Amino acid sequence: MPAGLVLIVLIGALVIAMFVNADSTLRKSEGKPRNPSWRTEVAQRLASVSDFLHLTTPRQRIDAAMGRSDGQGETIDQLLVDQGIAPLVDEVATATRVDPETLRPELRTPTLAEPLTLWVGGDSVTEAVGTSMVRISESTGLFKSILDYHVSSGLSVPSYFNWPEHLVKDVISRDDPDVVVIMFGANDSQNIKADDGTVLERFGPEWYAEYQSRVGKTMDLLKSPENDRLVMWMGPPPMGPSSRVRGMDRVSFAAWAEAQKRPWVRYVDTWPFFTDSSLQFAHSLPNADGKVRAMRQKDDIHLSIVGGDRLSWVVMADIGAYVDLSATKVPTPPAGQVAPPTVKERDTIPESMPGSI
């Protein structure tokens, strides 16, 4: 074969591979804080074209065969039908006008002999807080805890990892948790492919509507038929400017707005615990002992061990408002692991934050 033809074939193969792997390239690009902005922009454009032309399908099927994806898993609407779950938003709206407490989850009182099952999961940002939650919760003797996070996952691209299907078919059926602590967002600033194949450009009106719908439906899937499961939905913390991860304020609003319709869901407002007094991103912050510590890893996306501890104590306090933990003495949070007492969750979450990326 002539050398020129070989070169053309190689270039063609590289171009095809570039488009086939476009979604994966975008995830990696946005996860590297030092990447020049033009590289991320190119990756976004490639992903948009690739999604529109369905060029990522071969890669998704390969991922599925290798266990990296749920591949052609069930859609969230199919899962709702399979589980016999009606549009609970209407049910909640009606019940809320009568008595919101009628749908507040009722959890049994845990004992050392019969602890509650606590499941913590989500994307990789959940790793640090999940590790801390397991340690702190199990130290009480009142919880049997499970950590289940998946790198580069979220709700925007179920073809990479189908969280609703995993929650229904693995987590609920296998672990039947009494308390679910969950977080998404860091990997969700990607185009969404609707069930009809339409590609929704990230951060457009249709994108936000679809994303918020997926959040609400996932919350519906997590509700226990007996209403004895508490879902603690953590909003994602803000990401640093160098991370180039966008839209966490809007993702947080979507989760908060959907949680307000569902009394079995407690929204955990992480934002104030990882920002300065102006609610702007801060890599390092003082804890209650006055010492300034790094709350984030170098990528300004993931939490440090200290950041994980800080958020864990917030979640544990929120769980204590729903669960009677009087069977044992819950450890007092060390001052070096918690935020100053002036830092508190907000009553309402704005649709967007000034200065947020």
Look at residue 288 and give its three-state secondary structure: coil
Bridge pairing between strands 284-286 and 199-200:
unpaired
Q: What is the dihedral of CA 35, 38, 44, 46, to 10 degrees?
A: -110
The reported pTM is: 0.79
Q: Are residues 26 and 44 in contact, defined by beta-carbon separation less than 8 angstroms? A: yes
Look up residue 17 and give its two tokens. Answer: 């591979």
Per-residue DSSP letter, 192: E
Q: Which one is predicted more confidently, 5 or 165?
A: 165
Whole-number Å distance between alpha carbons of 195 and 213: 13
What is the rounded average pLDDT of the residues 93-116? 74
| Span 71-76, average pLDDT | 78
- What mean pLDDT, rounded, does the chain reach? 84
Alpha helices in the chain (DSSP H): 3-20, 22-30, 37-52, 57-65, 76-82, 88-98, 126-139, 163-166, 205-222, 248-259, 305-320
The full set of domains in the chain, from first to last, is 3-65 (no CATH), 76-320 (3.40.50.1110)
pLDDT at 279: 96
Per-residue pLDDT, averaged over 14-34, amounts to 51
Q: What percentage of the chain exceeds 70 in pLDDT?
A: 75
CA–CA distance, 211 with 207 (Å, rounded to integer): 6
Average pLDDT (223-227) is 94
Strand order in the sheet with 179-183: 143-149, 116-122, 179-183, 230-234, 265-268
Contact 275, 307 (CB under 8 A): no
Bridge partners (DSSP) listed for residue 303: 296
User: What pLDDT score does 139 carry?
Assistant: 95
Residue partners of 145: CB distance under 8 A and separation at least 6? 117, 118, 119, 120, 133, 134, 137, 138
- State the pLDDT at residue 97: 42
Side chain identity, residue 230: L
Q: Residue 93: is its pLDDT beyond 90? A: no
Residue 341: count other Cβ atoms within 10 Å of its Cβ. 7
Residues shown for the chain: 357
Look at residue 51 and tell me whether its pLDDT is greater than 60.
no
- Please provide residue 160's backbone torsions phi and psi, each rounded to the nearest 5 degrees: -85, -50
What local confidence, expressed as pLDDT, does residue 49 receive?
59
pLDDT, position 208: 94
Tens digit of each residue's pLDDT (9 = 90 or more) over 239-268: 999 898 999 999 999 999 999 999 999 999
Q: Does residue 128 carry a pLDDT above 80?
A: yes
Q: What is the pLDDT of residue 353?
A: 84
Using CA atoms, how far apart are residues 90 and 92, in angstroms rounded to an integer? 5
User: At residue 69, does pLDDT exceed 50?
Assistant: no
